[in-house]
């Protein structure tokens, strides 16, 4: 099943409760939350207090993406705050296997993400231990960037590896996804589509998500 995951921090942060209500009415499958620390990426967003606040307002599963250095330091706090899926970066975790196992032991689904310049082959040793692989299709840090179309080849390659190993791993893509290109991403093998400005910069979230599903 293909899933849409609006990136909520691309919404109106001055009225986040209203944005959550509007996005709930659009019936997405997940709510994506990007956590940035100003070190791993050149931007700062939110901490586990924001995850906790969002969790208190919705029953939609929270897909929390840690774009932070040494994420193992904060795994327990983010799971406790309500992360249903917790994704860390291959490039940012020193002991990736231990970090992934900790996430699972805390009863959250572990995911691993890679930046645009990181080959999918680098995930070979960790793939069997995660529930989700996230391919970044922009350089992480800022919303509104253009989709890097060479990412389609990475998505295709990752899908083939997952199928060859007969895994049930979800393949998620994040960055620059909009109505106009979501079919290309789907055809390349993605399962979960994260969209920030592609949804929140439109006038009708439900109409946009419905159209995304039709194009998928």
What is the set of active-site residues? Answer: 34, 174
- Give how far the C-alpha of residue 124 lies from the chain's centroid of Cα atoms, to the nearest Å: 20
- Give how far the C-alpha of residue 18 lies from the chain's centroid of Cα atoms, to the nearest Å: 22
Nearest to 51 by CA among 38, 60, 64: 64
Sheet containing strand 31-36, edge to edge, reads: 3-6, 192-195, 170-174, 132-136, 109-114, 85-89, 62-67, 31-36
Q: How far apart are CA 138 and CA 159, in angstroms?
A: 19
Contact 139, 168 (CB under 8 A): no
Place of tokens 């083939």: 160
């Amino acid at each position: 099943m293909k899933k849409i995951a609006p990136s909520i921090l691309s919404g109106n942060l001055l009225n986040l409760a209203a944005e959550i209500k509007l996005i709930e009415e659009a019936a997405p499958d997940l709510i994506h939350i990007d956590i940035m620390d100003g070190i791993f990426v050149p931007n700062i967003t939110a901490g586990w207090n924001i995850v906790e606040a969002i969790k208190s307002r919705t029953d939609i599963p929270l897909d929390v993406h840690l774009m932070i250095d040494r994420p193992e330091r904060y795994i327990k706090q983010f799971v406790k705050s309500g992360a249903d899926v917790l994704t860390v970066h291959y490039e940012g975790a020193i002991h990736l296997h231990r970090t992934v196992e900790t996430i699972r032991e805390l009863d959250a689904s572990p995911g691993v993400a890679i930046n645009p310049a990181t080959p999918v082959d680098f995930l070979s040793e960790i793939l069997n231990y995660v529930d989700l692989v996230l391919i970044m299709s922009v350089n992480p840090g800022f919303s509104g960037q253009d989709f890097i179309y060479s990412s389609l080849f990475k998505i295709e390659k990752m899908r083939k590896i997952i199928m060859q190993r007969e895994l049930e791993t979800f393949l998620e893509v994040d960055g620059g996804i909009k109505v106009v290109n979501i079919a290309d991403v789907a055809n390349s093998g993605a399962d979960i589509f994260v969209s920030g400005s592609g949804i929140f910069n439109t006038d009708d979230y439900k109409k946009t998500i419905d159209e995304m599903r039709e194009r998928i």
